[in-house]
Amino acid sequence: MNNNYVVIMAGGIGSRFWPFSREKRPKQFQDILGVGRTMIQQTVDRFEGVCPKENIYIVTSKDYKEITKEQLPFLSDDQILLEPCRRNTAPCVAYAAYKIGKKDPDANIVVAPADHVILDVPEFQLRVEKALHYVATHDILITLGIRPNRPDTGYGYIQALNDERLEVLYKVKTFTEKPNEELARAFVLSGDFVWNAGIFVWNAKAIKKAIETHLQDVHQLFSSAEESFYTSSEEQKIDELYHQCRDISIDYGIMEHAENVYVMRTDFGWSDLGTWKSLYEQADKNQEENVLHGNVMSYETFNTIVKTPKDKLVVVQGLENYIVAEYDNVLMICEKDHEQRVKQFLANAKDQKGKEFV
């Protein structure tokens, strides 16, 4: 267990969750589900027993250093990896892998986003521990795949090769990003595809070798920084190299190209909670199929989500299939079926009304 490490990616701004997710306080630092713990706190909680707390690393924006320390006070400064700018998940993974690899070359690493919902934590822990066992003894990269229960077009899909497997692990054939509905339905019916949860398990040596093979420029940058890790010069070195780093995801940069990628098929009540509709689907509903978070009175309202401040009484009447969301200085009312426009609303608010609404 002392060779097990967890890397939590917490640098995004959750723009599809605007206005609740804001640049100063994005959704991973908020109690989205109303359970008394923020999303990043819940993410850390579910790794209890998987690794020691001193082996948990958070990769986040420089802007979120203080809020990270406030919500996770057990972290040392060395456990908070600060990105000076956003460069997608490949540089994020590389930073963590090269830093942890310097401290412990035999490290087995789980990489997980900070803003996912997992309902069956014991099953999740069981699967993660099994995957950690495999990567400690095999030169492989593992991704956790979720058995789909519907043809969802909001998720990426992974195709597994049923005849090429390592016990409960299946060799990955293809990755497909967010297919159309017809393709998603075909994927689910085939039984060969799982949802891409964006949760990875590997050994430090294996992922570093993959980065060196498939992302040579990224390897050169982060291997050049190794001497500065765990020293006072680390932050300056990372600031320099991050601005030279290209914007590329770990899926596109590594997982789609490496030959040693395996998927573990799982089902532990997962949602990436990326949108208002996904929150609606996960949350408890009343008799009218409404999700009401806040001080809300509803009349003739159905299939609607209302998330508003508790110190303000909100009365809604005659709504069906709507999102009503208020946070700080923004109130948004939007048809649930048009939630994909939220990013457009955010961009327009920034351009036309000013950064204080972002």
CATH assignment at residue 125 = 3.90.550.10
161 with 299, same domain? no
What is the pTM assigned to this prediction?
A: 0.93
190 with 281, same domain? no
Of the residues 271, 297, 317, which one is the last residue of a structural domain? 271
In DSSP terms, 278 is beta-bridged to: none
294 with 156, same domain? no
CB 294 within 8 A of CB 310: yes
Place of tokens 């532990």: 268
Q: How many CA atoms lie within 13 A of 200 on its CB side?
A: 26
Residue 197 inside a domain? The answer is yes
Place of tokens 């590997």: 202
CA distance 327 to 320: 21
260 with 281, same domain? no
Burial call 61-80: b when 16+ CB within 10 Å, e when fewer: bbebeebbbebbeebeeebb
34 with 122, same domain? yes
59 with 159, same domain? yes
- In which element (H, E) is residue 221 found? helix 216-223
Residue 73 inside a domain? The answer is yes
Place of tokens 């949350």: 283
- In which element (H, E) is residue 32 found? none
Residue 171 inside a domain? The answer is yes
Residue 47 inside a domain? The answer is yes
Place of tokens 């009312």: 333
318 with 346, same domain? yes
CA distance 261 to 254: 9
Residue 15 inside a domain? The answer is yes
243 with 299, same domain? no
215 with 137, same domain? yes
Residue 335 inside a domain? The answer is yes
Of the residues 271, 290, 307, which one is the last residue of a structural domain? 271
308 with 265, same domain? no
205 with 70, same domain? yes
99 with 83, same domain? yes
CB 174 within 8 A of CB 158: yes
Residue 294 inside a domain? The answer is yes
CA distance 169 to 282: 28
- In which element (H, E) is residue 134 found? helix 121-137
Residue 358 inside a domain? The answer is no
Mean pLDDT of successive 10-residue stretches along the chain, which has 358 residues: 93 91 93 91 96 97 97 98 96 98 97 94 97 96 94 90 85 91 92 94 98 98 97 96 95 95 95 88 93 96 96 97 96 94 95 94
| Domain span including residue 132 | 4-271
**How many structural domains does the chain have?**
2
CA neighbor of 24 nearest in space, from 55, 78, 65, 59: 65
CA neighbor of 201 nearest in space, from 276, 275, 122, 126: 126
Of the residues 244, 271, 298, which one is the last residue of a structural domain? 271
Number of DSSP helices (H) and strands (E) in the chain, helices first: 11, 17
CA neighbor of 41 nearest in space, from 71, 7, 64, 61: 71
Q: How far is CA 118 from CA 115, 122, 178, 333, in A?
A: 10, 10, 21, 28
Rg (CA), the chain: 21
Tokens at residue 166, please?
């390592």
Report helix angle 204-214 to 89-103, nearest 10. Answer: 130
**CA angle 296–301–307, rounded 5-degree value:** 35
pLDDT at 1: 66
